[in-house]
Amino acid sequence: MLKTLRNDKWAILWAVVRLYVGYQWLTAGWGKITREGGFDASGFLKGAIGKAGGDHPSVSGWYASFLEGFALPNAGLFNILIPWGEFLAGLGLILGLFTTYALIGAAFMNLNFMLAGTTSTNPQLYTLAIILLVMGSASYRYGLDYYVMPKLRSKLKKDSMSA
Amino acid sequence: MRDILQGNKAAIFWAIIRVMIGWQWLVSGWHKIGNFNASGFISDSIKSGGQTNYLILQWYEAFLENFVLNNIEVFNILIPWGELLVGLGLILGMFSTAALLAGAFMNLNFMLAGATDINPILYTIEIILLFMRPVTYRYGFDYYITPKLKEMFSKK
């Protein structure tokens, strides 16, 4: 079944899915990069930490302590990482360039946003990213990776042989 | 790498993970049986849909409002028993593929309805376990049942 899903015809669907997911990330990242006064995650982080208490917490205790002990003190770093990470993941997915890395980065961000108590489009983007990862090379059959990846592989092979 | 992850030693690790998340499902299902009503949670989800930069997506909100709330009695039985059976299947390692698919599907829906907590972690682990098959149930009943089931179906 997977073999069929990875053929050239199905790859058209995966390209459409890739473009949709990529566009979502690109606009989300761009919106944060161009935000007046810059993007500041600390308000969101504090809100997420507050959601860890009560009878039905939406944030697990261990994740709240990660946010409190690591993410919040380093909010300056995350304020740059998140907008640019989102933007680059989106660009990679739209172009189909370094698709696998873009998908892993995107899925990792979705997972963390969900752990921090945000749902919105995260569950569906996370699921679509995982499906695209499973489709492997079919996800970039119609993307730049289709041309770039074979060249990278042969170059890496040559380098390791000459070393 | 796949060889190591799907070896017999790694299988012990996957079995432990499987039993751990199975226990989570079993307990959470057990507490809901007989006294569960999802309508409060779902009404809250729908309410939060309009505000706070749409925490719940519109298509899912429409599904909750038009389908789930109107058939709430079905869901009040389906969710507790579904959770309990998923937990039982995972702990025993019996029909574990079906249990993992059903569990992941429930987690996805809970997240779409705005509940996060442990759902993202369970969802991720279930997807990993689905990919580790058949090692997932190397130490489980499926290891003995699956070959027999296959044999039965191929006879026909």
Q: Write the pLDDT tens digit of every residue in A65-118.
A: 999 999 999 999 999 999 999 999 999 999 999 999 999 999 999 999 999 998
| B31 CB within 8 Å of a chain A CB | no
- Chain B residues with CB-CB distance to A127 below 8 A: 108
Tokens of B42: 């779902």
Q: What's the pLDDT tens digit per position in A16-51?
A: 999 999 999 999 999 999 998 889 999 899 989 988
8 A C-beta contact, residue A79 and residue A17: no
Of A114, A124, A130, the CB nearest to B116: A114
pTM of the model: 0.87
8 A C-beta contact, residue B100 and residue B129: yes
8 A C-beta contact, residue A138 and residue A89: no
Q: Which of A39, A149, A66, A150 is nearest to A101 (CA)?
A: A149
DSSP at B11:
H
Terminal-to-terminal C-alpha distance of chain B? 38
pLDDT at A152 over 70: yes
Q: If DSSP codes are grouped into helix, strand and coil, which group holds residue A143?
A: coil
Does B54 sit within 8 Å of A60, measured CB to CB? no
Place A57 in a pLDDT band, splitting at 50, 70 and 90.
confident
CA of A125 vs chain B CAs: smallest distance (Å) = 11
Tokens of A67: 């946010």
Query: According to the model, what pLDDT value does residue B3 have?
Result: 80
Element (H, E) at A80: helix A75-95
Q: Which of B117, B118, B122 to mutate to test the interface with A (most CBs of A within 10 A)?
A: B117
Give me the tens of pLDDT residue by residue for chain B, a chain 156 residues long.
778 888 888 999 999 999 999 999 999 999 999 888 888 888 888 876 555 445 678 888 889 999 999 999 999 999 999 999 999 999 999 999 999 999 999 999 999 988 888 999 999 999 999 999 889 999 999 999 989 988 888 876
CB-based burial of residue B44 (10 Å sphere; 0-12 exposed, 13-18 middle, 19+ buried)? middle
